[in-house]
Chain A
Amino acid sequence: MQRIESNFIVKGTRENDKMNEESVTDTLARRFLLGEVDDFERKRIERLFISEPEINTKILLAEDDLIEDYLENSLTPSDRDKFLGQYGYTAAERQKLRIAKSIKEYAAAEARLTQTAPAIATWRTFLASLRQRRMLFIPIAAVLTLSVLLAAAWLVQLNLKKADENNRRLVIERELAELNARPGAPEDPSRVPALILLPISIRSVGPQTEMKRRADIPVVQLDLLSNQKDKYRSYQAVVRRVGTNDHFKISGLQMENGPKGNFIRVKLPIHLLQDGFYQVVLSPDSEPSANEEYSFTVSE
């Protein structure tokens, strides 16, 4: 049977190809790809390309470099023209160029994204590492959840306490407002004892005015003598137990005239008073800075 030899078809022997293999340098590969070699050399390189894997790889790598140089605008004008003559000639080649460009652009955009979001990447890495270490992740998550729940409970408790405090103050101030709303005639001293207080600014040095609490007396009256010449439409008194946050404000008080001069009458329910030292600040409603200060003590 007649044997068909490969060199019968493609001309040139494989031995010759082997001999010429070494001569396909990177430079020659590039010249071949730019269409700078003659027909004979072209066919020789093509034969090597299709039959010798190493030459095949070498030429493909040279082509990759050439395409990258083109896309990065690194070719000389002359090489660029030759390149486009080869790779811009057919629609299929143009498409491959566009794809290569897309791959580079996409990769560059991804790299920029990674660089501009290092914090996100760090968080992702951190979370990923936590996910990988579930043994660590579970207790940390449990502690975090518990902390959040405790904080929430504390906040709710705090708000409830504040709301209670506000409600209590509102009730007291309403009670004080009602008690002091009706000046009129003096109360019966056996039922509502009056405590006459001089302003600290004019009071002579002497013992502190003292009030004894008694279970049968529900209300005490403070007569705050005033030395002020100006008379205002209404006054307010703030009663504070020294050393605590307890304080009550009574507004809309009226100046009265008595045998000892001008005074402001302030009535206080006895249940609001505890043993201790009290301070009263009296001022006109319209001018809180023009105040006078009084004090007294409460005991059993």
Chain B
Amino acid sequence: MRRTSEIPSESFDHILAWLNPDRDKAAALYLDLRRSLVKIFAWNRCGDPEGLTDETFDRVARQVDYLINTFEGNPNLFFYGVARNLIKEHQKKAKSYISIDDVDVPAEAPQLIDDEDDDMREECLRDCLKELTRDKRDLILAYYAKEKQPKIEDRARLAQQIGVSIETLRVRMCRIRASLEECIVRRLKHRARRNATD
């Protein structure tokens, strides 16, 4: 089930401070950690990775004051530990549903997400591309323009053009695509909510 994070702003500040004393660096680390947790929940077939990520942060927020003073090591690993517990809980819950109802309940799948149409998605994609800088937009469109063998040759040429290695280009594209994907998901959710209230 989708849920909204209930972290009080003070606790959120403490989480950031725990991740890194520099607030800008902490904000970047927070976003990376959040994306990683969403991925881990998805890889473990949890129906609502975003919601479970919120829940992870909520649980950590409740003990962050204590953790700042006592925990040693990479804070991300503590978050991972909490996420693992949630995955276990989620899997137990799914199993118990199967045994009771004798039906296949994979996860909480928000229907709205499956209901979006191609036009709406493309509109959101266009809007999100406009939010990128021109360089980034041109780069990502050039990067994904071809398939198979022409794709490999094209990307090598692209890397040469901008003076980076293919690996660096791949990393850069991975980040741009991730932010583009997040923008599209955000816009689609916003539209779905608006449609639901209309």
Interfacial residues, chain A to chain B (CB-CB below 8 A): 1-7, 9-10, 14, 33, 43, 46-47, 49-51, 53, 56-57, 60-61, 63-64, 72, 74, 86, 89-96, 98-100, 102-104, 106-108, 110-111
Contacts and interface: CB of A to CB of B under 8 A. Distances in A.
B43 A33 contact: yes
A103 B181 CA distance: 9
B151 to A, nearest CB: 8
Interface in B31-59: 32-33, 36-37, 39-40, 42-43, 45-50
Given A89-B45, A91-B109, A102-B125, 9 more contacts: A9-B78, A49-B39, A51-B74, A56-B36, A64-B173, A94-B114, A103-B177, A106-B126, A111-B146
Interface in B69-102: 69-74, 76-82, 84
Interface majority SS (helix, strand, loop, mixed), chain B: helix
A108 B79 contact: no
B144 A108 contact: yes
Contact of B33 (A1, A50, A96, A99): A50
Interface of B: 32-33, 36-37, 39-40, 42-43, 45-50, 67, 69-74, 76-82, 84, 106-107, 109-111, 113-114, 116, 118, 121-122, 125-126, 129, 140-148, 170-171, 173-174, 177-178, 180-181, 184-185, 188
A9 B63 CA distance: 14
A166 B125 CA distance: 66
B44 to A, nearest CB: 8
Contacts of B185: 95-96, 99
B188 A6 contact: no
A103 B73 contact: no
Nearest to B112: A91
A10 B84 contact: yes
Interface of A is mostly: helix
A90 B42 contact: yes
A9 B141 contact: no
Contacts of A102: 118, 121-122, 125, 184
Nearest to A49: B36
Contact of B180 (A53, A56, A103, A110): A103
A300 to B, nearest CB: 83
Contact of B49 (A1, A43, A56, A90): A90
Contacts of A9: 77-78, 81-82
Contacts of B141: 106-107, 110-111
Given A51-B80, A89-B45, A90-B109, A107 B143 contact: yes
23 contacts: A2-B70, A4-B78, A7-B73, A46-B43, A57-B171, A63-B39, A64-B170, A72-B147, A86-B43, A89-B45, A89-B107, A90-B42, A91-B111, A93-B42, A96-B181, A98-B121, A100-B177, A103-B144, A104-B147, A110-B145, A111-B142, A111-B145, A111-B146
A95 B145 contact: no
> Which of B40, B43, B71, B84 is the most central at the interface, judged by chain A CB atoms within 10 Å of its CB?
B43
B43 A99 contact: no
Contacts of A57: 171, 174
B186 to A, nearest CB: 11
A111 B121 CA distance: 19
B60 to A, nearest CB: 11
A104 B146 CA distance: 8
Contact of B71 (A4, A33, A49, A99): A4
5 tightest A-B CB contacts, nearest first: A9-B81, A6-B73, A111-B145, A107-B144, A6-B77
